[in-house]
Structure 1
Amino acid sequence: MSDEGAGPVVHAAVLREPAHRVSPQAVPFWRVSALIGDAVLVVAVVVAYVLIPDVPGWTLVLVLLVAAAAIAHVVLMPQIRYRVHRWEVTDTAVHTRSGWIGRETRIAPISRVQTVDSRQGALMRLFGLASITVTTASAAGPITVDCLDADTAREVVARLTAITAATEDDAT
């Protein structure tokens, strides 16, 4: 049997993971962030349990499950997220992978980059971290690289700015 007229042969490309991890300081940052959010939730659930009269006995089990889930979130999420989150900027593309339950991989050609922004909230400053956001001409939205060392984030922003300024395409 002949393959003539069958069209072009498509070879499966293997996508490698982005080269760089986020800063190791991301782990304690994510842990403190999760602790703050989860503590608010657990306190609200416990206060509701205590203040609401005639609560059925099974609701104590629900309160304990919420507390156990919060503890697991604070302990497990930062480590898993650190192993997964990766990023890379080359002369041709911005490549990220993120998530801790689900995974998202994004690749944006440099020719599609429109703006490069950095963000450093108060808690991020405390840990010496910053995030960068690369806005592209894409319906999928911007690409964000969270929890880079602040100096690395400044270098990446400067590099992306230089690369995109030298690119002749119009990012549309």
Structure 2
Amino acid sequence: MDPTPPVPHDLSPPRDVPLRLRPPRHRVDPRARRWWLLRALASAGAVTVVIGVVWWLWEPARPWLTAPLVLAALWTAARAVVEPRVRYAVHRWEATDLAVYGLTGWLVREWRVAPLSRVQTVDAVRGPLEQALGLATLRVTTASSSGAISIRGLDADLAAELAERLTAVTEQTPGDAT
């Protein structure tokens, strides 16, 4: 486990820092690695199991199913071993009184900043696996055509607190979020 310092809940940035695309300061919750592992096993692992069962039960198909089975097994291994580690190393977030910053991805990295004057909605979303692990996704929807900024793998209580805080700050931010 990586000793990650507690996340400060003060969203106030230094006033002399301009709003710009920069690396966000905070890591996601370490439990997110388990969440990414379980998601990988549920998707890529399920495909590997189906191909493996067909390979095992249907002997005439073995010659042409061997290569897809090996590829599926390698993809599952990469998703289960590499993806959670890379995502945890890459994913960062930060929320200030001026903007929400997000850095995500494992194969393709997306680095975004959303000024709070452009925010339309702030949601804390919890899927079944996230609920089981005590995690949540903070989704900040803006007027951008690029869609929402989603910060996945946050502690559920922190995500709810951030959603409440960002909503309050957004209400006080001038602009019409369009």
Q: Which residue pairs with 2:12 in the alignment?
A: none
Identical amino acids, percent of aligned pairs: 45
Q: Which residue pairs with 2:144 in the alignment?
A: 138
Counterpart pick for 1:165 among 168, 171, 176? 171
SS in 1 for 2:140: strand
Structure-to-structure mapping, 1:82-161, within 5 angstroms = 82-161=88-167
> Residue 65 of structure 1: CA displacement?
2.7
Task: Judge conservation of contact 2:55–2:62 (CA < 8 Å) in 1.
Answer: no
2:66 is the alignment partner of 1:57: no
Structure-to-structure mapping, 1:73-84, within 5 angstroms = 73-84=79-90
> Residue 47 of structure 1: CA displacement?
2.5
Deviations 1:9-62 (A, max 9, x none): xxxxx8431011110000011111111222210111113323445236353243
Structure 1 length normalisation: TM-score?
A: 0.86
Q: Which moved more, 1:128-137 or 1:42-51?
A: 42-51
Separation in 1 of the partners of 2:65 and 2:170?
A: 56
> Residue 93 of structure 1: CA displacement?
0.8
Structure-to-structure mapping, 1:4-83, within 5 angstroms = 15-52=21-58, 54-55=60-61, 57=63, 59-83=65-89
After the TM superposition, list the runs of 4 or more consecutive aligned residues in structure 1 that deviate by more than 4 angstroms: none
Separation in 1 of the partners of 2:45 and 2:69?
A: 13
Unpaired runs of at least 5, structure 2? 1-19
Highest Rg: 1 or 2? 1
Separation in 1 of the partners of 2:121 and 2:161?
A: 15
Separation in 2 of the partners of 1:124 and 1:154?
A: 13
**AA in 1 matched with 2:106:** W
SS in 1 for 2:93: strand
Structure 2 length normalisation: TM-score?
A: 0.83
Aligned residues: 160
Separation in 1 of the partners of 2:175 and 2:124?
A: 23
Deviations 1:75-100 (A, max 9, x none): 11000001111111111111100000
